[in-house]
Amino acid sequence: MNWRYPLKINRLILLFVLSCILLAASIAKADWINLSGAQSAPNIAEIHIEDSHVRVVLEIYVNDIDTFIDLVPEEWLKKAGRQPPPMQKRMQRFSTETLQVLTDDQPPLIADLKLVEPRMRVDRPNPFAGTINPYTGQRVPGPPEDKRVLYAELIYPFTQKPQTITFLPPVDATGTPKAAIGFITYHKGVPVIDFRYLSEAARINLDWDDPWYSRFEKKALQRWQLSGIRTFLYIEPYEVRHETLVRVKDMAAWMDLGLHGADFIEVDEFEPLKKRVGEFLLKNSKVRIDGQSLPPILDRTSFVKYTMARTFFIDQPERLPLNTAMVGVIVTYLTREIPQNVTVDWDLFSDRIQKVPTNAVDPAGPFPSYVTPEDNLLTWTNFLKTYQMPTVAGVTVEDALARVQIPLGSIICIVLLVPVLWILVQRKRDSKRFGVIAGIGAVLIAGSILSYPFLQISIARPPALAPEISEEKAVILLESLLKNIYRSFDFREEDDVYDRLTTSVSGDLLSKVYLQNRKSLVVTQAGGARARVSEINILDVQVSPSGGSPMGLAFHATWTAQGTVGHWGHIHTRKNQYEANILVEPVDGVWKITGLELLDEKRIDPYGKR
């Protein structure tokens, strides 16, 4: 039987298993997240297009080895009882029948096998594995339980730069793929697509001047971040943010980048370039809020690292490839309330950039659109009919706890009744006067009863008579005060923060909370942006009377604060957990925190199990 067909395959797999046992498998983590599940396919192909060749990195699933049998080491095949032809012939067959790479309209390129060895598959996390894809209704697949793969690196050389390259997977006589292959493609380091399935011929048009604009012909084969520039408008309580995420190389159409070379942003160019881009986009942020031009604040300028799943801040200067380097700029406008109308006059277009994706995000959600040179005005109109601005309001002390009601009318009647009763006792033998006096007594008794609900006065409750607050009410009280503190930090101006804090924090503690605990109590996301806290959850609380105050309450509490912040179209959720000793007392008729000792704080997974 020809060695190409399944023969003693169990022995071959056994040899492969024994080789895997000798490996110290290390798990590499990646960022790929998409609903196709292609990053979890049994077989993975990473394709890198360079100036003189195509490099393909394969992870071949242990049960699919026979489909890629030409790559199996010769000694493995011989131990399995096979007699393979020479490697040159095997690679000729692999390149023309298994994984084909064609440039323009030329015959398939012949691959050169550089490395083949057993490994464990790279872990490419997919949090959506097992869930239902809302677009297809199909379950998103997860990776195989068996992590063993045959790892191979191949080079497909070419002599001149092609305009197109076509990739063909291994198929049977009916055109059905022999193996499920998830693939991703890079052109000179630029990711061209997300992970997708290579199930049929895939043709890419190459842009050698700027690989960012290389595209597969099929629309399904594209990356999530297609445009090199996007702009966002965030409408939030007390502020409007105009954010722009732009590829540095595209900025060259509007400003001199001032770089030494054409391929990289060097470490010493990192900060100066970031500053120039920030100042340029600040000057070109043409935002009008309710018809007015408010003072802009350059809130943040950061280089942003782009992956197929997300973007994140680069905190420390580093050498960045110009083809993929991106910079994010946030310009903020402070407001006193949610505006009625916001417009952005966008005029940054170029020969390559004729359509800029936009997104206006308000408390109701995102509203994606785009601007063009012919229609360059991004407009947001307030259609929030039921939205309530978050406020900071003092938590008043209930009258039942702070004051006592005195039934003045009843007391007067009872005081007058005492001498009447005494006279009745003395005059009980005088029948004429007894009846009159008894009538007066009856009137006073009735008056004390009838006046009780009406003739009352309220006085401060003496400390000795202070009642105990129920644990349920105590938890509600603590939660309200904590919400007030977090909402106070939503404001940017120091005076505004202090003004709001005074409603829930006593004067003696105010500076401590602001200066010492602000960093701890503010929920932040990567890059230092403050997240607006949307949820407070008291996990555990012990409450007892405070020995130093008649109505004071001493809390030992554990709680979580969850906040969200939106940047460049993504919602970042952060969740912190705190443990603290908190003293609460009534001050001028409202509850205030008069003591705060933060014992522990930690960040936790906002999507983890409770």
Residue 510: give its domain's CATH number: 3.10.450
**Domain boundary pick from 455, 485, 513:** 455
237 shares a domain with 209:
no
Domain end (from 216, 237, 266):
216
pLDDT value at position 439?
72
Tens digits of residue pLDDT in 298-345: 988 999 876 655 567 888 899 999 999 999 999 999 998 899 999 999
The ranges of the chain with pLDDT < 50 are: 1-33, 399-402, 464-465, 526-528, 610
Torsion angle (degrees, nearest 10) of CA 36, 38, 39, 43 = 170
Please check whether residue 1 lies inside any domain of the structure.
no
**Residue 477 counted as domain residue:** yes
Q: What is the pLDDT of residue 400?
A: 43
Confidence at residue 168, expressed as pLDDT on a 0 to 100 scale: 96
265/171 same-domain check:
no
Cα–Cα dist 322/209, whole Å: 12
Task: Kindly state whether residue 396 falls inside one of the protein's structural domains.
Answer: no
Q: Are 107 and 234 found together in one domain?
A: no
Helix (H, G, I), strand (E, B) or coil at 65: helix
- The token pair at 595 is 């003591």
| Within a domain: 132 | yes
Q: First vs last Cα of the chain: how many Å apart?
A: 59
Alpha-carbon distance values, 376 to 231, 239, 243, 349, 350 (Å): 12, 23, 16, 10, 13
- In whole angstroms, how far apart are CA 160 and each of 53, 103, 154, 191? 9, 10, 19, 22
Q: How many domains does the chain have?
A: 4
Q: What is the pLDDT of residue 405?
A: 61
Looking at the structure, tell me whether residues 137 and 198 fall in a common domain: yes
What is the model's pLDDT at position 249? 94
Domain assignment present for residue 402? The answer is no
- Domain extent for 333: 229-381
Question: Are 115 and 200 in the same domain?
Answer: yes
Sheet with 590-604, side-by-side order of all strands: 395-396, 590-604, 570-587, 553-567, 532-545
What pLDDT score was predicted for residue 347? 94
pTM of this structure: 0.71
Measuring CA to CA, which residue among 270, 218, 227 is closest to residue 247? 227
Statement to judge: residues 497 and 356 lie in one domain: no
Provide CB contacts within 8 A for 452, sequence distance 6+: 407, 409, 410
> Is 205 a domain residue?
yes
Residue 222 lies in a domain: no
8-state DSSP, 133: P
The answer on 471 and 451 residing in a single domain is no
Residue 394 lies in a domain: no
Per the CB < 8 A criterion, the answer to whether 40 and 203 are in contact is no
Tell me which DSSP letter residue 511 carries. Answer: H
